[in-house]
Amino acid sequence: MSYDFHSQLSKIWNNAVELYKSGNSEFHTFNIDSHLSLLQSWGLKKIDVFDFVEDWCLHQEPDFNTFLLVHYERWSFFRDEQQLIPSKNLLDPATLPPKNEAFQGITWLPRILPKARAKLRGELPQEVMYGCGGDREFFRTNNIHPAEFLQIVRSLEDDSSIMQWVVNRKRSLA
């Protein structure tokens, strides 16, 4: 990462938003190739930019600040845990818990845990987005920022501790 990571990522974001708005709304033709080597040096992929930009253009969320914070967490994990070596693995979407699965009445919690881990490791396949509409509903309902959740997943590590943290957060809202 560099001193101006946020500025560089902002330029990439703004360029990508303009591309999408100008009709380049298909991943396979979404040309941000001039930025790929920089993104890869941060542990990011083209799909990371495309997914967030697409949802921003279609739904006005997640915004750039969320994109920045989430991908700062990814970069931090990439640097500290992966020693700047990208994972060769991908999450199998078929292994994700069903969308309606709940833990102590908190829908989506079992599903978002493997997604968050895969996001941190750079292992999300193109068809799975961390920060999708279902994720955003989970975050909104439980008053958790997507980047904060990545920090919790990283720091607590085991499912039961993470789930208890979410349950406690939910209780604090009541």
pLDDT tens per residue, range 93-122: 999 999 999 998 999 999 999 999 999 999
Q: Indicate yes or no: pTM above 0.85.
A: yes
Angle at 56 between CA 10 and CA 172, to 5 degrees: 95
Give the C-alpha separation, 64 to 13, whole Å: 7
| Helix, strand, coil percentages in the chain from 3-state DSSP, rounded to 5 | 65, 0, 35
DSSP letter assigned to residue 85: -
pLDDT tens per residue, range 7-17: 999 999 999 99
Gyration radius of the chain over CA positions: 16
Mean pLDDT is lowest, of 40-44, 75-79, 134-138, 169-173, for 169-173
ω into residue 62 within 30 of 0, thus cis? yes
pLDDT tens per residue, range 25-73: 999 889 999 999 999 999 999 999 999 999 999 999 999 999 999 999 9
pLDDT at site 5:
86
Q: Which whole number is the average pLDDT over 119-141?
A: 97
- What are the backbone angles phi and psi of residue 98, rounded to the nearest 5°? -60, 150
pLDDT at site 173:
76
Give the C-alpha separation, 70 to 136, whole Å: 13
- One-letter amino acid for residue 141 of the chain: T
pLDDT at site 1:
59
Angle at 46 between CA 110 and CA 65, to 5 degrees: 65
Q: Which whole number is the average pLDDT over 154-166?
A: 93
DSSP letter assigned to residue 97: P
Task: For residue 157, name the pLDDT band (cuts at 50, 70, 90).
Answer: confident
First to last CA, the chain: 40
DSSP letter assigned to residue 64: H
What percentage of the chain exceeds 70 in pLDDT? 99
CB-based contacts of 4-8 (< 8 A; 24+ apart in sequence): 5/42, 5/72, 5/75, 6/68, 8/38
